[in-house]
Amino acid sequence: MKRSAGLIYTDIYNTYPDVPYVGVYKIRQPALLIRDPEIIKAILIKDFHSFEKNDIVVDENVDSIASKNPFLQYGERWKTSRSQLSYCFTSGKMKHLFPLMHAVSVHMVEYIENEAKLGGNPMDTKELAGKFTCDNVATCAFGIDGKSFVDPNSEFRKVGKRILEPSFSLTMKMLFILLFPECTAFLKIKFICDDVVDYFRNVIKTTLNYRKENHLVRNDFLDVITQMKLKPDDPPLQDDDITAHAISFFADGFETSSIALSFALYNLAANLSVQEKLRNEINEVIRKNGGTVSYESIQNMNYLDCVLSESLRIHSPAFALVKLCTEDYCLPPCSKSGLEVKVERGTPVIIPVHGLHLDAKYFPDPEKFIPERFSDDNKAHIIKGSYLPFGEGGRICIGMKFAILQIKVAIIAIVRHFDIRVNEKTKEPLVIDPNHFLIFAKDGIWLDYQKRNN
C-alpha cells in the first residue's frame, strides 16, 4: 500500500482548507469528512445521540468476544459495558495500580542497563515500549508476570503481538472489516483468533481459581470485574463478558500505549533541551517527595503532562475517528448557497484527527515539538474539537487515565536514569508506515540509551 486510509483522510483534509466538510467515498459508500472543530464538537458531544455508533460492524454470531468490546457496541449494550468498565478506571483504582506499574518500570531500567552493557544500543524503541506495556497490562489486569524483559520467548508477549501488531494478515483483515463489513460474517472474519481467546480464558480461569483458593485480593482489573459478577443490582456478568473485557483491556492498554510511548521517547531524544527541562522537573518533584516516585508526585509534574500532550498531538496513535450517523442529521451550510446538508442515517462520518493535529490554523508550526502549547497559560486557547488524541464526549477512551499513567511512569523511569539520543539508524524525518491502520514509523525508532550517574 502506498497510502493508508488514515493518511488519505489527512490528504483530503489538507486539500480542502476552506470548507467545513467534504463528501468522500469509502469504496462504494458515500461518507462525510468533517473539518470544522465546531461541527466535530457537536457530533461528539452535543449531538452525540445521533452519532453514538463507531463505523465497525461485528456479527456476534461469528465473533462473540469482539461483539462484547465497548468500542464495537452501541445502544443499551454499550451503556452497560461502559458502566461496568468505568469502575476499573477511576483515579482511586489508578492509585492502587501505580505500585504495580512502578515495579515494571524498575525491571525496564534493569533491562536497558543490561542491554547497553551487552552492546544493545541502538534499541528498537517500539519493541522496548511494547515489552513495558505488555508486562504492565499483565500485572495490572491479570496479576501475572509477563516476563517480557527476561524471557525473549514470553508467551504473554507473543500472544499480545498477535492482537494488533502490524502484519500482512492483520492489515488484510482490518481492510475487510472496515471497508467490506457485509463480507465479514459470510467469510467468518474475526478480530481475534480463537486460540488467542482460549489463551486468555485459561489465564483468567487459572488466576481466579488461585486467588479463590488462597484468599487473595489484589485490587487489580480482574478483582474489580469479578466483584461486579456478584452484584445483584447489576445486569448479570457472564464468563464471556469477563474474557471480552479482559481482552479489551489488554488490546487497548498494550498496543496504542506502546505506540504513544515510543513516539514520546523519540520526541524527547530529538529535542534535547526539552529532555533536560523534563529531567529537571522530574528530579525536583522527586526530591520534594523524599526521593521517591509516587502517584501523587506524578500529578505535580506539569511539564511531563505538556510533553506527553504535545507528543500525542504530533503522533496520535489513531489517524481518525469514524462514526456512523444513527439518525438523520442536518449540518450547517457548507457554501454561500445557505442550504443545510442532510446526513442520512447509516452515513459514515470521518473525523481526521491526524489532519486536525497538524493544521497550522490550530497549532502554529505544527511539525515542531513545542510542549509549552499545553501549559496552563496556553492550553485554554486550544480550540475544542481540534485536539482529539483520546476522542471526546460520550465515546472518549475509557482507558485514558490508565494509558496516560503507564506512559508517564515509563517516561519518568527512562529520563531519570538515561540520556536518550536518536541513533543514525532512525531514518529522519520519520516516515509513517502505510501498511497499518495505526501510526507506526516505517523503519522503526532506534534510540541510544546512556546511563546517567545520578
Encode pLDDT of 349-368 as tens digits.
Answer: 999 999 999 999 999 999 99
| H-helix or E-strand spanning residue 187 | helix 181-187
Greater confidence, 58 or 309? 309
Determine phi and psi for 331, rounding to 5 degrees.
Answer: -90, 155
pLDDT at residue 182, rounded to an integer: 67
Residue 339 predicted with pLDDT over 90? no
**Please, which residues have CB within 8 angstroms of residue 352's CB and are 6 or more apart in sequence?**
9, 10, 12, 13, 33, 34, 35, 319, 320
Residue where the block lists cell 504492565: 136
* Grid cell for residue 316: 496520535
Domain positions in the chain: 5-451
| Mean pLDDT, residues 217-222 | 87
pLDDT at residue 337, rounded to an integer: 61
Prediction pTM value: 0.94
Residue 418's pLDDT band, with cuts at 50, 70 and 90, is: very high
Greater confidence, 6 or 419? 419
pLDDT at residue 165, rounded to an integer: 63
**Please, which residues have CB within 8 angstroms of residue 334's CB and are 6 or more apart in sequence?**
19, 20, 21, 341
| 428-434: Cβ within 8 A, 24+ apart | 428/270, 430/266, 432/4, 432/7, 433/4, 433/166, 434/1, 434/2, 434/3, 434/4, 434/7
| H-helix or E-strand spanning residue 322 | strand 321-324
* Grid cell for residue 265: 521517547
Among the listed ranges 147-151, 167-171, 208-212, 420-424, which one has the minimum average pLDDT value?
Answer: 167-171
Residue 137 predicted with pLDDT over 70? yes
Average pLDDT, the chain: 91
Q: Which CATH number fits domain 5-451: 3.30.1490.100, 3.30.70.1400, 1.10.630.10, 3.30.230.10?
A: 1.10.630.10
| Mean pLDDT, residues 214-243 | 80
Residue 317 predicted with pLDDT over 90? yes
- What distance in Å separates the CA atoms of residue 202 and residue 210, rounded to the nearest whole number? 12
**Please, which residues have CB within 8 angstroms of residue 172's CB and are 6 or more apart in sequence?**
none
* Grid cell for residue 243: 474474557
**397 labelled ligand-binding:** yes
Residue 285's pLDDT band, with cuts at 50, 70 and 90, is: very high
